[in-house]
Structure 1
Amino acid sequence: MEKRLAPGDRVELLAPDAVRRHAEGLAALLVDAVDDGASVGFLAPLEAAEAAAWWAGAAGNRDVWAAFGPDGAVTGAVTLLRAGTANGRHRGEIARLLVHRSARGRGLGRRLLAAAEAHAAATGLTLLVLDTQTGSPAERLYRGAGWTAAGTVPEYAADPAGVLRPTTLYYKLLAA
């Protein structure tokens, strides 16, 4: 049974300066994800300083949404990276959809994904792509949100323990 969002839960698009301001909370979220086994580009153990440096580098290079709990703590995040080529201006990539273990089951992942999708469509993107570890709980979320599996690549990325795992690529066409 899914927990309902707390009255103070909110999701917001962060300006680059806000990403830097919330770097500590975003870093703690990323460390939590890696500690929980999420294959999000980092090996365990992930140091908070490395996670904070990644978020600092993300500021201004991608759109970042954060979920905040009633106490103001960062409870989730997602990023949208736009294609940098002239022939790819219509597409973007959803990356690092993270929900802290303490905040799971409240619909935050769905809300974060929906916010990024709506913004992408409103800003002219018509295609989104993402990849996720095959067999991960995230696959159910993406399929439920209307994403289509395009295929699986064996040994695509290492999990936090360094073991190569398959990755499933997904896409979603947005209304023009």
Structure 2
Amino acid sequence: MEIAPLTAEDHAAAETDLAEVLLECVLGGASVGFTLPFTVADARAYWRGALADPDARTWVARDAGRILGVVRLLPAAQANAPHRAEIAKLLVHPDGRGHGLGGALLVAAEEGARALGRTLLVLDTETGSVAEGLYARRGWTRVGEIPEFALTPSGDRAATTIFRKHV
């Protein structure tokens, strides 16, 4: 497995793999901003828009050239927040789970944030999800929980846990 930043030149070539990762995660129940029905066309449209953001940074985990995981770093745009960024869309395809990809992607994003001078990171995740345990094990501090924050893919309301980390 290789963890590497996704460059602007890689965006078009990566779109199919990224769409598959997102689609499989949503179909598997991950509450990452989408509800069912959700199609590969929806996933491709998301990535097309997301990758057009010139300020965001994206890292991918590849195995034999195939993208099996992704994470995004979204630097805060506000003038009073040059030190802050958000971790978003930490996703691992079911075929890549159990190999430490989530943790490796998180480390890459943290190092990337530090290189940009972004020392305070925040993220949110569905309360009780596997991801919640990952962040706690990786030294993230639980800030709190917001009940009924977002819908799961099936449309149920779910709580979200907010985390922070200084890097």
TM-score (normalizing by structure 2) = 0.96
Residue 36 (structure 1) aligned to one of 28, 42, 62:
28
Which whole-Å CA distance do the structure 2 matches of 1:127 and 1:20 have between them? 31
Which whole-Å CA distance do the structure 2 matches of 1:73 and 1:97 have between them? 17
Number of the residue aligned with 1:67? 61
Number of the residue aligned with 2:89? 96
Partners of 1:67 and 1:75 within 8 A in 2: yes
Identity %: 46
Number of the residue aligned with 1:3? none
Shift of 1:17: 2.9
1:106 aligns with 2:99: yes
Which whole-Å CA distance do the structure 2 matches of 1:96 and 1:117 have between them? 14
Number of the residue aligned with 1:19? 11
Partners of 1:129 and 1:169 within 8 A in 2: yes
Partners of 1:17 and 1:59 within 8 A in 2: no
Q: Map 1:158-169 onto structure 2 (within 5 A).
A: 158-169=151-162
Deviation by residue 1:68-120 (Cα, 9 ceiling, x = unmatched):
112x1110000010101100111000001000111101000010000000010
Q: Which stretches in structure 1 are left out of the alignment for 5+ residues?
A: 1-8
Q: Map 1:26-175 onto structure 2 (within 5 A).
A: 26-61=18-53, 62-70=56-64, 72-174=65-167
Which whole-Å CA distance do the structure 1 matches of 2:59 and 2:9 have between them? 13
Q: For this pair of structures, how many residues does the alignment match?
A: 165
What SS does structure 2 have at the residue aligned with 1:65? strand
Partners of 1:20 and 1:55 within 8 A in 2: no
Which stretches of structure 1, 4 residues or more, deviate above 4 A after TM superposition? none
Partners of 1:20 and 1:59 within 8 A in 2: no
Which whole-Å CA distance do the structure 2 matches of 1:35 and 1:12 have between them? 26
What SS does structure 2 have at the residue aligned with 1:146? coil
Which whole-Å CA distance do the structure 1 matches of 2:3 and 2:38 have between them? 25
Q: Please give the root-mean-square deviation of Cα atoms over the aligned residues, in Å.
A: 0.9
Which whole-Å CA distance do the structure 1 matches of 2:8 and 2:42 have between them? 18
